[in-house]
Structure 1
Amino acid sequence: MTSARIIILFVLAAVAEIGGAWLIWQGVRENRGWILAALGVVALGGYGFLAALQPDANFGRVLAAYGGIFVAGSLAWGIIVDGFTPTVWDYVGSAVCLLGAAIIMIAPAVSAPVSD
């Protein structure tokens, strides 16, 4: 269940962070009102709480791995919500980031940390 929990929390965190940033963008840059910006701030706060629920106790590891999820999620959001057309390099870069996230989150379970 831990792997499923990690994935679900990362997906929910991505929706909260990317959605929150998008709401602020819409409110401020697209002049759609400060209410959207305020909702974005709330969503970004939700992202912080979701990230804190990850089972791994290492803040740096969780946020580093989440970075890969954020890159892929941002491109997906752009495609779905904004009609963005990615290049092949966007897809390749996103795949590399997701591979990096997987390595960060899975490798500690199978190997000891590097020490001096």
Structure 2
Amino acid sequence: MSVARSLLLFALAALAEIGGAWLVWQGWREHRGLWWVTAGVIALGCYGFVATLQPDPHFGRILAAYGGVFVAGSLGWAVLVDGFRPDRWDLTGAAICLVGVGVIMYAPRG
């Protein structure tokens, strides 16, 4: 499996998890209804399945690396969907997390 495919899987996982959590938030906290919550729960379940498609056999490594993707993806979602304006520290932190993803997932191992 290529790095590009792995990165695509991380992006899909982020979309499912962040989108699912957002739908639950909208349904419950913004009072949009149980259909939103239900859609969110389904999306969150899809995240769990997408994560299993990563090539590395170690759950801990995949989840640790995904944590960095989640941080950056959450800021991206906030910009695109909620009109959030990250400051330089938000962006710096996200960049550090993405470097961590690269080290955890794609560093050469012997």
Give me the TM-score of the superposition, normalised by structure 2.
Answer: 0.97
Shift of 1:111: 2.8
Counterpart for residue 43 of structure 2: 43
CA apart distance, 1:65: 0.3
Report the Cα distance in structure 2 between the residues aligned to 1:105 and 1:38, rounded to whole angstroms. Answer: 32
Name the aligned partner's letter for residue 47 of structure 1.
Y
Quote the Cα distance in structure 1 between the aligned partners of 2:51 and 2:23. 19
Structure 2, unaligned runs of 5 or more: none
Aligned length: 110
How far apart are residue 4 of structure 1 and its match?
Answer: 1.4
Whole-angstrom CA distance in 1 between matches of 2:64 and 2:106? 13
1:22 correspondence with 2:31: no
1:29, CA displacement in angstroms? Answer: 0.5
| Map of 2:86 onto structure 1 | 86
* Larger Rg over CA atoms: 1
**Matched letter for residue 101 of structure 1:** V
What's the counterpart of residue 109 of structure 2?
111
Q: Flag as ranges the 4+ runs of structure 1 deviating above 4 A.
A: none
Which deviates more from structure 2 when the two are superposed, residues 57-66 or residues 1-10? 1-10
Gaps of 5+ in 1: none
In the alignment, the residues of structure 1 paired with residue 8 and residue 106 of structure 2 have an alpha-carbon distance, to the nearest angstrom, of 15
Taking structure 1 as the reference length, the TM-score comes to 0.92
Pair 1:52 & 2:39 matched: no
Identity of aligned residues (%): 61
CA distance in 2, matches of 1:35, 1:4: 34
Q: Residue deviations 1:68-107, cap 9 Å, x none?
A: 0000000000000000011110000000000001100011
